[in-house]
Amino acid sequence: MDCQYGAKKSVITDGIVDDNYDDAHIIQKIRKRINSGDKFYSLEFFPPRTDSGGVNLIARFDRLAIGNPLFIDVTWHPKGNSGGDEVTASLTIASAALNFCGLDSMLHMTCINSTTEDIDKYLRKAKKQGLRNILALRGDVSDSIDESVRHTKELKYASDLVKHIRKEFGNYFGIAVAGYPDGHPECSSYEDDIRRLKEKLDNGGDFVVTQLFFDAETYFKFLRDCRNAGITAPIIPGILPIQGYNSLRHLVQLSKLPVPQRILDTIESIKDNDEAIRKFGIVEATNLCKKLLASDDVPGIHVYTLNREEAVVKLLKRVGLWHEESIYKSLPWRPSANGKRISEDVRPIFWASRPKSYVHRTMMWDEYPNGRWGSSASPAFGELKDYHIFYLKNTSKKDELLKMWGEKLESVEDVYEIFTCFVSGERNKYGYKVDALPWSNDALALETLFIKKSLEYINSKGILTINSQPNVNALPSTHEVFGWGGPNGYVYQKAYLEFFISAERFKTLLEVLPNFPMINYHALDLSESINVSNSDHHQPIAVTWGVFPGREILQPTVVDPTSFSYWKDEAFALWTNQWANLYPEESKSRQVITAAVRNFVLVNMVDNDFIQGGNLWKVLDQLFSLEADKAVY
């Protein structure tokens, strides 16, 4: 499939990363961190039961990604994994974290009550979605287990599953296994359980994640005993911040986990005070983690989140493992963690506020843009059908969106006000904060604060902006707002503005633009009956670049004419799919939106004077002046 920006070949065959490409294995990252002495953390989640729970969990992934976990893992619930695109399937959740949130992801997989055909089907699907790491488990035995399946197949234990994965898939998957510091409750002895752990590793396991425990010495004893038994693999301690009375009781019953009496006594005394339990759980987990992390034998911690966020972030901050994204930002945009996209380091700026949509629409590419100023061939974007997909939905309910975007629209000027309030942070005329727009489900980027007043002004005048960036000239690559790419470099940006404007006003804008030769522009209406540009229709323009020692100049963000045509379809569709459809079919409010869509032109402008900047605002000032003059005469 063709790609753009002169992309080079990546290590992909038949749309799947080559089996010899191992950097996507979590064990490689663990070994690097062990060698550097840099402690890490990872996080465990379970698939929620509802679609809305899936939406919320993906949003939580985005927030937790800011703290840079080494990886996340998702527990195994076979229901839904074998067919369809069920939102709550383990495969779906793990794939979304990997592809859309930029998180290295490990998928739990159990073999109990499964045939080898079932397992191979799951693994092939995981491979197709870019997942490269499996936590191989037997699974919990229950009365519902189909004995005829369990006793007629080879995969009775986790060690069998590990062996099978290695036999059928070679080194494609990195494989983790579970360890039990207190011994597995079904094993005949603690020593026998360690022998079983060694068998799992000897069969192809790469590292160990432990069951949770509550005393540091429990882990250290287990670690010593494992090493004495000849186990050399990394052993990551599993930590649970206690977050509720019932959840702790359920875990104890399920895993037959021994809990120190002092913890049981404390929890019992405050069992009706959820906040007190959470505070106690954070303190206990903090003290435990500090003891563990003080040892050179502990590479990091694995946190059982119970799909909660607040207590986990507090714990990680208290033990010094929470690292804000800006410190490690390799590119201006967060890369997908899918190894298939390993060479990707260039993206069009148009999807800056909808990166998940861009990833979704380019998932089937065989090659990805890679840092060269080549010509732009047809990028062959996927179909525009993402509005039903849970991780691309606006998560707000209809009544919340109506409060933000207007319960009743009388004219296009009401639309101007909503855009202006989104930029300014002021409440709309209904008294509600406008925290999102269809083109951006998040707050404005920090860099937008540098041009906030200008954006407020032009939106109030009907220049409806959906994307922008200020100019930057040789700021340090470690700058807290604009920095990316690591230390000892310099970053640059051309000022960029993208907006909707009425077709009539666009004609007036065309009268002004020739006065500014440093500006490139491109304008399209929905039908492309208007397709006006002063740029090469096939040549991308770099709008963000960086200079680093020992490397060629990096240009991770471009304005690309071919991509703009695809983005235009999405940008216009969002008016209808996420805004107009909030209102009854024959209502005045819907008519206001649909009329605007028919009349709007989408324009992008690049100010090539990245040193001085300011030309974009001068263009629009001249537009407003010329309009005023025409109104007088």
- pLDDT per position as a tens digit, 288-299: 999 999 999 999
Maximum pairwise Cα distance, the chain: 96
pLDDT value at residue 444: 85
- For residue 44, indicate whether it is catalytic: yes
CA 10/CA 403 separation, integer angstroms: 47
Closest to 392 in 3D by CA, of 350, 433, 361, 346: 361
pLDDT of residue 152: 43
Domains of the chain, CATH where assigned: 12-328 (3.20.20.220), 397-632 (no CATH)
Q: Is residue 374 scored above 50 in pLDDT?
A: no
Q: What radius of gyration do the chain's Cα atoms show?
A: 27
pLDDT higher than 60, residue 38: yes
∠ CA 410-414-418, nearest 5°, is 145
pLDDT value, residue 51: 79
Write out pLDDT tens, residues 508-533. Answer: 999 999 999 999 999 999 999 999 99
Query: What is the phi/psi pair of residue 472, to 5°?
Result: -140, 130
CB neighbour list of residue 465: distance below 8 Å, 6 or more residues apart: 419, 423, 455, 458, 459, 497, 498, 499
Share of the chain above pLDDT 90, in %: 71
Q: Which of 55-69, 364-378, 553-567 has the lowest mean pLDDT?
A: 364-378
pLDDT at 15: 37
Confidence of residue 13 (pLDDT cuts 50, 70, 90): very low
Token couple for 289: 């983690």
Q: Are strands 495-502 and 464-469 parallel, antiparallel or unpaired?
A: antiparallel
* Residues 175, 28: Cα–Cα separation, whole Å: 11
Which of 17, 627, 633, 41 has the alpha carbon at shortest distance from 319?
41
Checking if the pLDDT of 169 tops 70, the result is: yes
Backbone angles phi, psi at 7, to 5 degrees: -65, 140
Alpha-carbon distance of 87 to 84, in angstroms, equals: 9
Angle between helix axes 310-318 and 274-293 (nearest 10 degrees) is 30
Average pLDDT rounded to a whole number, residues 220-236: 98
Tally of CB atoms within 10 A around 289 = 26
Q: What are the tokens at 114?
A: 């499964």
The single-letter code of the amino acid at 159 is S
Asked whether the predicted pLDDT for residue 325 surpasses 70, the reply is no
Element (H, E) at 301: strand 300-304
Contacts of 28 (CB under 8 A, 6+ apart): 22, 174
The arithmetic mean of pLDDT across residues 359-365, rounded, is 89
> Packing angle between helix 116-128 and helix 90-100, nearest 10 degrees?
20
Least confident span in 165-179, 329-343, 485-499: 329-343
Q: Give the per-residue pLDDT at 78.
A: 62
Q: What is the pLDDT of residue 4?
A: 41
Q: Considering only 270-279, 450-459, 613-622, which range has the smallest mean pLDDT?
A: 270-279
Strand partners, 179: 210
For residue 232, give the amino acid letter: T
Assess whether pLDDT exceeds 50 at residue 373.
Answer: no
pLDDT value at residue 375: 44
> Given a cut of 60, is residue 14 above it in pLDDT?
no
**Distance from C-alpha of 359 to C-alpha of 340, rounded to nearest angstrom:** 12
Q: What is the pLDDT of residues 431-473, one digit of tens each?
A: 999 999 999 977 888 899 999 999 999 999 999 999 999 999 9
261 contacts 301 by C-beta, under 8 angstroms = no
Which pLDDT score is estimated for 18?
43
Of 164-168, 178-182, 225-229, 381-385, the poorest mean pLDDT is in 381-385
C-alpha dihedral over 294, 299, 303, 309, to 10 degrees?
80
pLDDT tens-place string over residues 240-274 = 999 888 878 777 777 778 888 898 889 889 988 98
Q: Is 489 helix (H, G, I), strand (E, B) or coil?
A: coil
Looking at residue 6, what is its pLDDT? 38
Query: For residues 59 and 65, what is the distance between their CA atoms, to the nearest angstrom?
Result: 10
Q: Which residues pair with 299 in a beta bridge?
A: none
List helix spans (H) across 129-215.
147-152, 158-169, 190-202
pLDDT-based confidence at 53, cuts 50/70/90? Answer: confident
CB 481 within 8 A of CB 325: no
Strands (E), 452-540: 464-469, 472-476, 490-493, 495-502, 519-525, 531-533
Helix (H, G, I), strand (E, B) or coil at 626: helix
Structure tokens belonging to residue 298: 């502990």
Residue 323 has pLDDT above 90, yes or no: no
pTM assigned to the model: 0.89
Residues 6+ positions from 42 with CB-CB distance below 8 Å: 69, 70, 71, 72, 73, 209, 236, 300, 301, 302, 303
pLDDT average, residue stretch 79-104: 78
H helix or E strand, kind and range, residue 236: strand 235-239
pLDDT at 94 over 80: yes
| 139 vs 41 pLDDT, higher one | 41
401-418 tens-digit pLDDT:
999 999 999 999 999 999
**Annotated catalytic residue, options 44, 344, 456, 498:** 44
For range 411-426, the mean pLDDT: 96
- Beta strands per DSSP E along 394-449: none
Q: What is the pLDDT of residue 16?
A: 39
Pairing assessment for the beta strands 554-559 and 541-547 based on DSSP bridges: antiparallel
Structure confidence at residue 630 (pLDDT):
83
Q: What integer is the mean pLDDT of 580-586?
A: 95
The answer, yes or no, to whether residue 391 has pLDDT greater than 90, is no
Task: Give yes or no for residue 554 having a pLDDT over 60.
Answer: yes
- pLDDT band at residue 571, thresholds of 50, 70 and 90? very high
**Which stretch of 38-42, 193-197, 323-327, 562-566 has the lowest confidence by average pLDDT?**
323-327
Calpha distance 128→130 (Å, rounded)? 5
pLDDT value of residue 485: 93
Across all residues in the chain, what is the average pLDDT?
88
pLDDT of residue 1: 31
Q: Residue 5 pLDDT more than 80?
A: no
* Tokens of residue 627, six digits: 């309009």
Q: What is the mean pLDDT of residues 568-574?
A: 95
**What confidence tens digit (pLDDT) does each residue in 116-133 have?**
999 999 999 999 999 999
Both tokens of residue 40?
Answer: 């890490």
